[in-house]
Amino acid sequence: MSRSHIRGYRLVVASLCAASLLALPSRFACGQQAAPSASDRLPSDIAPRGQRTPIRQIKYGDWQKFCFKAPGSDEVCRTTISGNFDTGQLAVRADLIERQDKGNARLQLFLPVGMYLRSGVKLSIDQGETHQLPYVWCLTNICIAADVADPVLIQQMVGGQQLKLEVVDSNLLSVSTSLPLNRFGSVRSGAASATFRQDVDE
């Protein structure tokens, strides 16, 4: 099996596990490392020691929308963007997952391993207010931060230009990257790039 097929398989597994988080209590995880509890997250009196410039540049693609429909269930749509290192390896992926006619949306981020999990992920739109997203679980090659999306944050994403993500690495140095938002709103409200339907054979 080629390396590209292995990477694809791992990403599919991660996506399936992430989707299962919509239905499972937060204590369950598909990955190999459990999420830190609220008491284990970075205390307010511990701050990053400084900032670190990313070693490798991240190139982001376009926002896309994919929908999934199974018989007897509501349609679920994922508005997503991915950023890759120059090697082609996934660096960052952001998903906004919304169920048809349901109020709560879920924001999830796929991030590299080697971060200080207790700190979670800080998000801000165009240098505005900061939102916090906790890590929920990790695989061997990627970690997931996810939570119910604040409606205020979603509206800021629709009208914003850049979504800044700030994480803390294992040396307690902060690292940040910015995702483009200029097409997020139109893609989210537009037609899906693809709709996947699961048919049940009689």
pLDDT confidence bin for 103, thresholds 50/70/90: confident
Structural domain includes residue 45: yes
Range of the structural domain that residue 100 is part of: 3-196
Structural domain includes residue 189: yes
Query: Residue 109 maps to which CATH number?
Result: 2.60.40.1880
CA 8 to chain centre: 17
- Answer yes or no: is pLDDT of 196 > 50: yes
Structural domain includes residue 202: no
Structural domain includes residue 117: yes
The closest alpha carbon to 196, from 75, 111, 91, belongs to 75
Q: H-helix or E-strand containing 56?
A: none
Which DSSP string do the residues of the chain spell out, in sequence order? --HHHHHHHHHHHHHHHHHHTTTS-TT--SSSEEPPPGGGSPPTT---SEE---SS--EE---EEEEEE-TTS--EEEEEEEEE-TTS-EEEEEEEEEETT-S-EEEEEEE-SSB-GGG-EEEEETT--EEEE-EEEE-SS-EEEEEEPPHHHHHHHHH-SEEEEEEEBTTSEEEEEEEE-TTHHHHHHS--SEEEE-----
Which range among 11-15, 34-38, 51-55, 109-113 shows the weakest confidence by mean pLDDT? 11-15
Structural domain includes residue 201: no
Report the predicted TM-score, pTM, of the whole model to 2 decimal places.
Answer: 0.75
pLDDT confidence bin for 61, thresholds 50/70/90: very high
pLDDT > 70: what percent of the chain?
71
Structural domain includes residue 22: yes
The size of the chain, in residues, is 202
Q: What is the pLDDT of residue 171?
A: 87
Domain count, the chain: 1
- The better pLDDT of the pair 137, 31 is held by 137
Structural domain includes residue 93: yes
pLDDT confidence bin for 8, thresholds 50/70/90: very low
How much is the average pLDDT of 145-162?
95
Structural domain includes residue 32: yes
